[in-house]
Structure 1
């Protein structure tokens, strides 16, 4: 049962990792286009510059959950790698429960408020068609303060609670994986990686 939950979460987080990879490709293309436009043709776009910042932020935030899932995050390997697998699993279980999961909940809570503050700025139409029209023309909520900047800043601010929700799910998977190692139900305990 725990392995099924872990595998289901891992599939979702792996898909998020693919999305983050695609965002990296788009980011490279946007920055390349902006640089060539600026230096070869003397044109630049504030919106594209801001869009590249948003892509980078999204890529970074979405990549956090994937980094935990693949255990490619930073840790003090000089100490950790010399410990037994069971000791590593105990540290991971305790760290997940005491530090990582509570941090995720705090950031989700405050990140949601941060996003909603951005969304609630300005007027909001009463109909869906009015909302869509305003979304694409003058924007909903907070906008860029730069002329020609992006509208609807609540979207990028919404990446904060979304990414930490995904990190919380990845933490659950990480916790279950290490719990399975402690209970002797994991392939990793025998030295076989999945």
Structure 2
């Protein structure tokens, strides 16, 4: 049974996991929109000879949202790319140590580096109310560039949740920090 501080920390991690899951599931529906829009663009172009620049750009916006907005969800679900030669054979405690090390020395520095380097890029785009360079394109390029900040903030939050869960495993307050796979129960 976890102690009071561990329980509070796990509550925070659970809230972050809930938010990440909600965002990921919500954004995953954009894949259907991308298919429909791409089909419409192809139909308009080849059946009616009409270009649809705004719709093509909307597909790009949706694509960026799906991949950058749902990256933290992939991390939460342990669906990210991992070289799994040794990891799957490790005990839950060693797995937690590997993931804690990865979060502290790779995930957090990369997110902070991205935040530091993209802040001005996004701010300038907002200040200029940057628009598409293509005729008939969308007027919201600054919103698309802001998706980078969504990536950074959601990954930072999910990294915090991962750190909390791995520390709970290392202290014995939690049996494993990894989500149950299909057919498995933790």
Which category describes the TM-score, using the shorter chain as reference length? Answer: 0.7 to 0.9
Question: Tell me, what secondary structure is at the counterpart of 1:33?
Answer: helix
Q: TM-score, normalised by structure 1?
A: 0.84
- What is the DSSP-based 3-state SS (H/G/I as helix, E as strand, rest coil) of the residue aligned with 2:89? coil
Structure 2: gaps of 5 or more residues: 1-7
Q: Is 154-163 or 81-90 further displaced after alignment?
A: 81-90
Partner of 2:5 in structure 1? none
The equivalent position to 2:163 in structure 1, one of 172, 175, 178, is 175
Structure 1 residue 60 and structure 2 residue 48: aligned? Answer: no
Instruction: Give the paired residue count.
Output: 174
**CA offset at residue 41 of structure 1?**
2.0
Q: Any residues of structure 2 matched to 1:22-41 within 5 Å, and which?
A: 22-41=29-48
Match status 1:108 vs 2:115: yes
- 8 A Cα contact 1:187 1:193, kept in partner: no
Pairwise mapping of residues 1-194 of structure 1 onto structure 2 (< 5 A)? 1-121=8-128, 141-188=129-176, 193=185
1:93 Cα shift? Answer: 0.7
Runs of 5+ unmatched residues, structure 1: 122-140
Inter-partner Cα distance in structure 1 for 2:83 and 2:185? 21
Give the Cα–Cα distance (whole angstroms) in 1 for the partners of residues 141 and 149 of structure 2: 14
State the 1:160 CA deviation: 0.2
Q: How far is the alpha carbon of 1:66 from its aligned partner?
A: 0.3
Change over 3 Å in CA distance of 1:187–1:90 after alignment to 2 = closer
Distance 1:179 1:28 in 2: 41
Aligned to 1:131: none
CA apart distance, 1:188: 2.6
State the Cα distance separating 1:120 from its structure 2 match: 1.7
Partners of 1:66 and 1:165 lie apart in 2 by: 12
Q: Give RMSD over aligned pairs.
A: 1.6
How far did residue 161 of structure 1 move?
0.9
